[in-house]
Chain A
Amino acid sequence: MNLIIFSGLLGVVMMFCGLFIKNNRTISYIAIAAMLFLLLVNTIEFTTGNGFFTIKAAAGLLQPSKYGLLVNEILLVAGILYFVLSGRDIEKVGVHVADYYALIFFVFAGIGIATSYTSLLMLFLGIEIISIPLYILTGADKLNLKSNEASLKYFLMGSFSTGLMLMGIALIYGATGSFAVFKMNIAETPVTYNMVAGMLLLLVSMAFKVSAAPFHFWTPDVYDGAPTVFTSFMATIVKVAAFIAFIRVFEGSYSSLNKKWQLVIAIIIAATLLIGNITAVFQQSVKRMLAYSSIAQAGFMLFGLFAFNDLARQGIVLYAAAYSFATIGIFSVLIKMDDHTFEGFNGFAKKEPLLAGLLTVFVLSLAGIPLTAGFFSKYFMIAGALSTGGTYLWLIILAMLCAAISVYYYFRIIQAMYFKTGEAEHTAVSVPFKLTLVLVAVLVIVLGVMPQVLLQYIYF
């Protein structure tokens, strides 16, 4: 609750900052401070279990859970890192810097809803509050046709998927007579055809939001076209939030419909992994490659939905952290590069050994190499899936093969940086930037060596 209210308020504050403060840098600092404040209030709620506000009316609609709050924590940390690393670049997108920040804070309000809703109404509102600012941020670079195009595509397809979601919700309502998520639990309500069709449509629309194949088509284009700073935000924080929302929807209902859903989700996972990984292989632009890689990573995260057990829940948290941190790190460096293709990284290690080293850590994490957080996140996903039995072994093998394919394109960055010669042109980076990036890398490695640092909070 704290997060929703305060980030809404802070969004407004940021809007007004735009009016009164002309210095973009100051706005950025205020935004960072605001984000720290959000982290603080969320931490208070997380540790004490109580928000500052008790709203009786919210009882059936929002129910903050430890799990959701933990995810919020991660996302807020990621948000702070994102602001610190990419604040300068947000300033460069356009003139409405304060408004961009305001929109981002609104998105965080949406995230707060998405991680704590118990009613499909709130899910709908949360998703929309997340989506609408993103349509705008995507199109923030107004004179750039790519940005225009991405924005339009995102908006049209996003609205379309909203339509699908609403249809699904309506059908579910028809079957259960309620929007409460727990009502979807089949133990409470008999399975009807309405219900199944509704859940299917809901599944589809949520799959769209997390860019799971075959509903992923918007992702590469939008991520590619959007200003890189906002791609970074969308591909990490927003995506994770969408995942949490996705999982909350099906948490209650899923187990009872297990077998059928498992196959459906297995097919989606397989398609996502294959399309994401294979298409990424041939990309020339790192940005677009990262877009496909985010699809591929979504495939892995979907295992959490596939398995729905403790391991998978832990895995989702870990994955959220590992994936967000690493991707934010990579994007923050990518933004600084003049050339966003792989060739643009040629010889980077010679010019910026530290940045190259950190980038390597992030890339290794995304590839799931041990000693980085990426390994354990993948590990938990696979372990969760395997503990449901051996029926879907083919899927797991496929996932592993895809992980191997992912090494192919991730390592192209490493190859370009270290083994190829060239002049990697980039804008200069500040020392705080480097220090923050080091911090991110340390986080990635710590989670990769001792994941319990994070996992212990799930059940404490």
Chain B
Amino acid sequence: MNNDLQLAWLVPLFPLLGFLINGLLRNTLSKKLTGIIGSGTILLSFIVSVWMFIQVKNGNTHVANYFDFISVGSLSIPFAFQVDQLSSLFLLIITGVGFLIHVYSTSYMHEEKSNDFARYFSYLNLFVFSMLLLVLGANYVIMFIGWEGVGLCSYLLIGYWFKNTAFNNAAKKAFVMNRIGDLGFLIAVFWIINQFGTTTYSEIFRQLPGGVNTGILTGITLCLFVGAMGKSAQIPLYTWLPDAMAGPTPVSALIHAATMVTAGIYMIARSNIMYSLAPTTMSVVAVVGLATAILAATIALKQNDIKKVLAYSTVSQLGYMFLGLGVGAYTGSVFHVMTHAFFKALLFLGAGSVIHAMHHQQDMRYYGGLKKYMPVTHLTMLIGCLAIAGIPPFSGFFSKDEILVAAYAHSPILYYIGLGGALMTAFYMFRMYAMTFMGTHRSDLHHHHPHESPMEMTVPLIILAILAAGAGFLGIPELFKADSHWLSGFLEPVFKQSNTILSEHHVSHSTEWILLALSVGLIIAMIVWAVRKFSKYQLLEEAATGFGKVLENKWYVDELYDAVIVKPVLGLGSFFNTVIEKSGIDKAVNGVGRLVQFGSRKFRLVQSGNVGNYVLMMVVSIILLIWMVFYLKF
């Protein structure tokens, strides 16, 4: 209890305070104060996180119990935080990137009314709070609290401009799809309780391996993975993420690129031991991840909305992370989470800067030639694109390569398909880059005066660009220098058990060199092709045809879901409402009443008012009674 890390509660506390202050005083605070409170609380959290990270790096990990959250019979779920390598790393990403994005937001959202502005920051702070809960939780229930909390904040922020019905629908869709995943998560939690009698990570993992049979573990992990599918936008629950771009761009950067969507990866990394013991799930994860990566990449090829491109790119990158998890490259996935957080946040914020400059025009077809108007944004975006495309020495190269090599070690087919995705990534990113910054401007300059964004926006861009460029060096492959993978060493305590279970196969250095050369070469070729093709892009009002159209329409997946799930469910609702409820059950209930009334109308006719009839009926009754008593043997 005397451990310094007991103070972990401070980390989520600050954003919570920020949320409360901004939320309750939204009508009185000035925008400036709101911004300071909103960003400042995250900064404080970041500082504490850094301090904790240092503690952890020095080998101090801790599970901090605060109070009994739920305690029923033998089941006890404490409100507890776990500070270890994995969580402290995520804390840094969340608070660090989060802080930058808050700062960025103060400028980006400046046009909002002051109470809306405060509402925005309170949501954002609440999100950070939830995300921190998710990461810090020492058991699945606390994680679930954060898990649902971030979903809620995502919902609130996507629907931030609540007057727009489309945005609201997008928000609702995001929440509902997340809920589908959450159900899987919940079921998994119950299953865990059923099997382990606890939800605390350390106690569960202590019982593994051997505590529970593989079949059940497969079930649990699959259910958890369903949760991850929802949160991290994997097939089949990915469609909400592109729609989620309805929210303000910094939100997309923070929630739908850097942090929330990686919660699924965090969760699987956290539960790595269970996954390692369930090879079937691992394969499922890998296949789903890869499929998502490819599918999203293909769609991204034909999108014209700059945020949509980035959104599908995010889905695709998340797919890679799951591929990494699926083939056992936990460190690689976490590494990719980190680098992705940097470069994707960078890209989004850059896109935000562009959108800001273009007065909320998001269609790339109306961009072009912005290079000269927005030099900082251009440069930082270029770094981001290079990073995501996987050009050495930018960070994306290292992390993606680590995953792909691990996939190759697992099965070359995975590698080749993954590589195909990577090539597409390079292509569409530079398509975006070229369409935005190169060539000539395609919209009316008299009305739009593209201009560089203010410092609050560019400084975070620059910082992120530096991180995106340099973060790769935290995980230099053994290929280049032995034992230089710092991250791997740092995370080793977390994944140690899994690594021994999985007994990694290694790819020989020579093969790895060939693979590297192949991929980098092909990617450069792709970039060149994309830039050449799209730098001279001219606005043409021609509809896409054939396969292009399919891609433009996102493989018609939304339509498919609508037809296969949404419509039938609504139809079923209507059917129940009108047919079964009103004409069925209620009719039956009322029918009893009617039957009585009908009986009443008929019965009273017996009362004919005619004495002869009365007596006749009496006599008949007597006859029947006598007959009954004397002749019925009962």
With the chains together, A152 CA to B614 CA distance in Å?
Answer: 13
Looking at the complex, which one of A157, A260, A267, A405 makes contact with B614 (CB distance below 8 Å)?
A: A157
**Which chain A residues lie closer than 8 Å to B604 at the CB level?**
279, 282-283
Q: Which residues of B contact A279 (CB under 8 A)?
A: 600, 603-604, 607
Q: Is the CB of B617 within 8 A of A214?
A: yes
For A190-215 the 0/1 string (1 means CB < 8 A from B) is: 00010011001100100010000011
A197-B626, A204-B622 are contacts. A218–B596 as well, Cβ < 8 Å? Answer: no
User: What is the bound-complex CA distance between A220 and B244, given in angstroms?
Assistant: 74
Decide: B628 and A156 in contact? CB cutoff 8 A.
no
Contact B596 A214 (CB under 8 A): no
Task: Check B621–A157 contact: CB distance below 8 A.
Answer: no
**By the criterion CB–CB under 8 Å, are A405 and B596 in contact?**
yes
Q: Quick check: B600 and A217 within 8 Å, CB to CB?
A: no
Given contacts A278-B599, A282-B604, A408-B596, contact A215 B629 (CB under 8 A): no
Complex CA distance for A160 and B628, rounded to whole angstroms:
22
Contact partners of A320 in chain B: CB under 8 A: none
The reply to whether the CB of A358 lies closer than 8 angstroms to some CB of chain B is no
Question: A164–B600 contact, CB under 8 A?
Answer: no
**Contact B626 A217, beta carbon cutoff 8 Å:** no
Interface residues as binary, B458-489 with A (CB distance below 8 Å gives 1, 0 otherwise)? 00000000000000000000000000000000
> Please, which residues of chain A bring their CB within 8 A of the CB of B611?
152-153, 156-157
A275 within 8 A of B: yes
A210-247: CB near B (< 8 Å → 1, else 0) gives 00001101101100000000000000000000000000
Considering only residues 121-172 of chain B, those with a C-beta below 8 Å from chain A are: none
In angstroms, Cα B625 to Cα A263, docked, is 10
List A contacts of B634 (CB < 8 A): 259-260, 263
Q: Which one, B597, B599, B617, B630, contacts A217 given CB within 8 A? A: B617
| A196-B630, A200-B626 known; A208+B618 contact, CB < 8 A | yes
* Contacting pair B600 A200 (CB below 8 A): no
Q: Is residue A145 contacting chain B, with contact meaning CB distance below 8 A? A: no
CB neighbours of B607 from chain A (8 A): 217, 220-221, 279
A-B contact count (CB 8 A): 74
**Residue A442 interfacial (CB < 8 Å):** no
Q: Which residue of A lies closest to B607 (CB)?
A: A220
Question: Given the known A-B contacts A263-B634, A281-B596, are A196 and B603 also in contact in the complex, defined by CB atoms under 8 Å?
Answer: no
Compute how far the CA of A156 lies from the CA of B613 in the bound complex, rounded to whole angstroms: 13
User: Is A264's CB within 8 Å of the partner chain B?
Assistant: yes
B625 in contact with A217 (CB, 8 Å): no
B73 contacts partner chain A, Cβ-Cβ < 8 Å: no
- Determine the chain B residues whose CB is within 8 A of the CB of A259 once the complex forms: 634
A214 and B621 form a contact (CB under 8 A):
yes
The CA of A104 and the CA of B625, in the complex, are separated in Å by 35
Closest partner residue, chain B, to A215 (CB atom): B618
Question: Contacts A278-B596, A281-B600 given: A264-B615 contact, CB under 8 Å?
Answer: no
Q: In whole angstroms, what is the CA distance A275 to B625 when docked?
A: 18
Whether B622 contacts A196 by the Cβ 8 Å rule is no
Question: Which B residue sits closest to A405, measured CB to CB?
Answer: B596
Contact of B609 among A215, A221, A275 (CB under 8 A): A221
A3 within 8 A of B: no
Residues of chain B within 8 A of A355, CB atoms compared: none
Residues of B within 8 A of A152 (CB): 611
A282-B597 contact in complex given A201-B622, A221-B607, C-beta closer than 8 Å: yes
Q: Which residue of A lies closest to B617 (CB)?
A: A214
Contacts of B600 in A (CB 8 A): 278-282
**Chain A residues near B621 (CB-CB < 8 A):** 204, 214-215
Bound together, the chains give a CA A157 to CA B522 distance in angstroms of 111
With both chains docked as a complex, state the minimum distance between the C-beta of A257 and any C-beta of chain B, in angstroms: 9
**A278 and B629 contact, CB distance less than 8 A:** no
Contacts of B597 in A (CB 8 A): 281-282
Q: Does B601 contact A (CB under 8 A)?
A: yes
In the bound assembly, the distance between CA atoms of A278 and B598 in angstroms comes to 9
Q: In the complex, what distance in Å separates the CA atom of A208 from the CA atom of B596?
A: 25
Residues of chain A contacted by B603 (CB below 8 angstroms):
275, 278-279
A279 to B601, CA, bound (A): 7
What is the CA–CA distance of A443 and B615 in the complex, to the nearest angstrom?
Answer: 39
Q: Chain B: which residue is nearest A221 at the CB level?
A: B609
Main secondary structure, interface of A, reads helix
* Known A221-B607, A279-B603: A214·B629 in contact at CB below 8 Å: no
CB distance from B47 to the nearest CB of A (A): 68
With A217-B607, A264-B628 already in contact, the answer to whether A282 and B601 are too (CB < 8 A) is: yes
- B residues 567-601 touching A (CB-CB < 8 Å): 593, 596-597, 599-601
Q: Mark A429-454, 1 if CB is under 8 A from B, else 0.
A: 00000000000000000000000000
* B79–chain A nearest beta-carbon distance, Å: 47
Nearest-Cβ distance from residue B617 to partner chain A, whole angstroms = 6
Hey, what's the 0/1 contact readout for B416-430 against A, CB within 8 Å counting as 1?
Answer: 000000000000000
User: Which of B601, B611, B615, B628 gathers the greatest number of chain A CB atoms within 10 Å?
Assistant: B611
Q: Which of A196, A218, A405 contacts B629 (CB 8 A)?
A: A196
Question: Would B615 and A160 count as touching, CB distance under 8 A?
Answer: yes
Within 8 Å CB of B630, what residues of A? 193, 196-197
- Bound together, the chains give a CA A218 to CA B617 distance in angstroms of 12
Complex Cα distance, B530 from A348, in Å, reads 88
Roughly how many angstroms separate A197 CA and B617 CA in the complex, as a whole number? 19
Q: Would you give the 0/1 interface string for A153-167, flagging 1 where the beta carbon is closer than 8 Å to chain B?
A: 100110011001000
B388-422 with Cβ < 8 A to chain A: none
CA distance A201 to B619 in the complex (A): 11
Say how far B625's CB is from chain A's closest CB, in angstroms.
6
| A153-B611, A157-B611, A278-B596 as given contacts; A217 in contact with B618, CB under 8 Å | yes
A113 CB, min distance to chain B CBs, angstroms: 25
A319 to B537 alpha-carbon distance, docked (Å):
97
Q: Which residue of B lies closest to A160 (CB)?
A: B615
Report A288 CB to chain B, min CB distance, Å: 9
Task: Give the chain A neighbours of B593 by CB distance below 8 A.
Answer: 408
Alpha-carbon distance A250/B621, docked complex (angstroms) = 20
Query: How distant is the Cα of A279 from the Cα of B600 in the complex, in angstroms?
Result: 4
Complex contact B625–A204 (CB within 8 A): yes
Q: A156-B611, A157-B611, A196-B630 are in contact. Are A214 and B618 (CB under 8 A)?
A: yes
Rounded to whole Å, the gap between the CB of B148 and the closest CB of chain A is 45
Of B606, B615, B617, B625, which one neighbours A200 at CB under 8 angstroms?
B625
A196 to chain B, nearest CB (A): 6
Question: Bound complex: CA of A164 vs CA of B622, how far in Å?
Answer: 10
CA distance A204 to B621 in the complex (A): 9
Residue of B nearest to A208 (CB): B618
Q: Which A residues lie within 8 Å of B613 (CB)? A: 217
Q: How far is the CA of A208 from the CA of B630 in the complex (A)?
A: 21
For residue B628, which residue of chain A has the nearest CB? A264
Complex CA distance for A59 and B597, rounded to whole angstroms: 52
Q: Which residue of B lies closest to A203 (CB)?
A: B625
State A153–B608 Cα separation when bound (angstroms).
12
A112 to B593, CA, bound (A): 43
**What chain A residues lie within 8 Å of B625 (beta carbons)?**
200, 204, 264
**Beta-carbon nearest neighbor of A275 in chain B:** B603
Query: What's the Cα separation between A157 and B626 when bound, in Å?
Result: 20
- The interface residues of chain B lying within 8 Å CB-to-CB of A214 are 617-618, 621
Q: List 24 A-B contacts (CB under 8 A).
A: A153-B611, A156-B611, A157-B611, A157-B618, A197-B630, A200-B622, A200-B626, A200-B629, A201-B622, A204-B621, A208-B618, A215-B618, A217-B617, A217-B618, A260-B629, A275-B603, A278-B599, A279-B603, A279-B604, A279-B607, A281-B597, A282-B597, A405-B596, A408-B593
11 additional A-B residue pairs with CB within 8 Å, beyond A201-B622, A221-B609: A153-B614, A204-B618, A214-B618, A215-B621, A217-B617, A220-B607, A221-B607, A259-B634, A279-B603, A281-B597, A408-B596
Instruction: Give A contacts to B, CB under 8 Å.
Output: 152-153, 156-157, 160-161, 164, 193, 196-197, 200-201, 204, 208, 214-215, 217-218, 220-221, 259-260, 263-264, 267, 275, 278-283, 405, 408
B-to-A contact residues, CB < 8 Å? 593, 596-597, 599-601, 603-604, 606-607, 609, 611, 613-615, 617-618, 621-622, 625-626, 628-630, 634
For the complex of A and B, 5 pairs with smallest distance between CB atoms = A282-B600, A217-B614, A281-B600, A214-B621, A279-B603
